[in-house]
Homo-oligomer: A and B are copies of this chain.
Amino acid sequence: MTRFEIHTTSREAMVDVTEKVRQALQASGALEGWVLVYCPHTTAGVTINENADPAVPDDVLRGLGDLVPRHGAWSHAEGNSDAHIKASLIGSSVTIPVADGDLMLGTWQGVFLCEFDGPRRRYVSVSVLPV
């Protein structure tokens, strides 16, 4: 298992981490198996979506913002309940199949760290299960 660090610079962001995940896979030497990309934070998540047009991740953040208001009748005193809820909607990890030593992502797919309560220092772990 390896991990890398991301410093987010705004409250919300979708950070394309596809190349970092690919590098971790290739460093493992595995040719076939699965990769788990795991976010150990409760106000951030990991998702797969289009990384060709940057308008897509922007719209994902906007869509989630329309769903979950930042200032609602929340119980949690830290004022970031929206970020916790988005983290559970998006999920804390993605699993990707591996073949021929590469991520079997679709043509338009990339892996994103989703920041919902930044700016913060975030970690992402990558672990490989070879077949």
Q: Across the interface, which residues of B come within 8 angstroms of A109, CB to CB?
A: 40-42, 92
Query: Is A56 in contact with B81, judged by CB distance below 8 angstroms?
Result: yes
Query: Is B67 in contact with A106, judged by CB distance below 8 angstroms?
Result: no
Q: Across the interface, which residues of B come within 8 angstroms of A87, CB to CB?
A: 49
Q: How many copies does the complex hold?
A: 3
A84 contacts B by Cβ under 8 Å: yes
A101 contacts B by Cβ under 8 Å: no
Main secondary structure of the interface of A (DSSP, over half): mixed
Number of interface residues of A (CB under 8 A): 61
Q: Across the interface, which residues of B come within 8 angstroms of A33, CB to CB?
A: 129
A6 contacts B by Cβ under 8 Å: no
Q: Across the interface, which residues of B come within 8 angstroms of A81, CB to CB?
A: 55-56, 59, 63
**CA A60 – CA B125 in complex, angstroms?**
25
A97 contacts B by Cβ under 8 Å: yes
**CA A88 – CA B74 in complex, angstroms?**
23
Q: Across the interface, which residues of B come within 8 angstroms of A67, CB to CB?
A: 67-68
Interface residues of A (CB under 8 A from B): 1, 32-34, 36, 38-42, 47-50, 53, 55-56, 58-60, 62-64, 66-68, 72-78, 81-82, 84-85, 87-97, 99, 104-109, 123, 125, 127, 129-131
